[in-house]
A and B are shown apart, each in its own frame.
With several copies, the nearest count.
Chain A
């Protein structure tokens, strides 16, 4: 169902089930936008998603397309297996920062480096939501989490991994963008990025990657509104929002 000036309806590719995410969680918004894109490109009946282990593990309750559940971190490898077996289907992985940048870092980079014809939707919320707010590879320096109780300290725990920047050193990716779900404009930009990424896959152009800076109010220990400010402020400072690669060409900042 298109969202035009003439109104907004709950996207057809989103089920009616209430999502289990916390109030103000970026996963909900990302699901909604994903459903809108599946609707607009009319691909929900030929799309297979791979849900991660993470808060989004139950994505199959909400997205009206086939969905598989990967082992933690192996999400892009599972997506690779599906896409290679069914090259004419649209295949995406949907992953949190723990899944994508910690345990699954090797799979993430190698799938990108092989230029797998998949779309990776990366929800960067700087924490492990599902397991109770532990430090993620993307946790900001100084950020307090269950496993960095005095704040992340770069000398012993490292600094936040910038995944777009890492992937942008590779030759194969076709499209890499980072967006932020921090505001109305951010929602629009996210939708556009997702659409571009899926469109690229529909056209068979290669690997696409969208990093979405996203709120986890529960483990930001902030209200949903304050959480958006954190996303657009401190997070976006560390993770610059921009297009890194377009049509296979790296755009340098």
Chain B
């Protein structure tokens, strides 16, 4: 059975660098127009349930902002 994953992005840690965006092969992550308290645009993940658990975005994120949790 295919494992399910949850993608959690800590909005306040995100700096909007966009390094996570391109590495996701199924383009799950997008930049938003939203600003966090520091004034950065933040990344968001849509359709979290599609996540394959490749962890690429989490590994790319300089700020360790993205956590991928496998659902049990």
Contacts and interface: CB of A to CB of B under 8 A. Distances in A.
Contacts of B55: 3, 5, 7-8
A238 B70 CA distance: 41
A225 B38 contact: no
A14 interface: yes
Contact of A187 (B5, B53, B60): B60
A6 interface: yes
Contacts of B58: 3, 8
Interface string B3-29: 101000000110111110011000000
A18 B38 CA distance: 10
Contact-residue bracket for chain A:
20 to 34
Interface residues of B, number: 28
Contacts of A237: none
A243 B15 CA distance: 32
Contacts of B68: 7-8
B40 to A, nearest CB: 7
A225 B31 CA distance: 13
Contact of B67 (A8, A26, A27, A184): A8
Nearest to B40: A23
Interface in A196-246: 217, 223-225, 228
Given A7-B69, A8-B66, A225-B22, A184 B17 contact: no
Contacts of B16: 23
B52 to A, nearest CB: 10
A24 B15 CA distance: 8
Contacts of B23: 184
A29 B62 contact: yes
A228 B61 CA distance: 13
Closest 5 pairs between A and B when the two form their complex, measured CB to CB: A28-B62, A23-B15, A8-B58, A24-B17, A224-B17
8 contacts: A3-B58, A11-B64, A18-B12, A24-B18, A26-B62, A32-B64, A225-B18, A225-B19
Given A5-B53, A23-B40, A187-B60, 5 more contacts: A8-B67, A8-B68, A26-B62, A223-B18, A224-B17
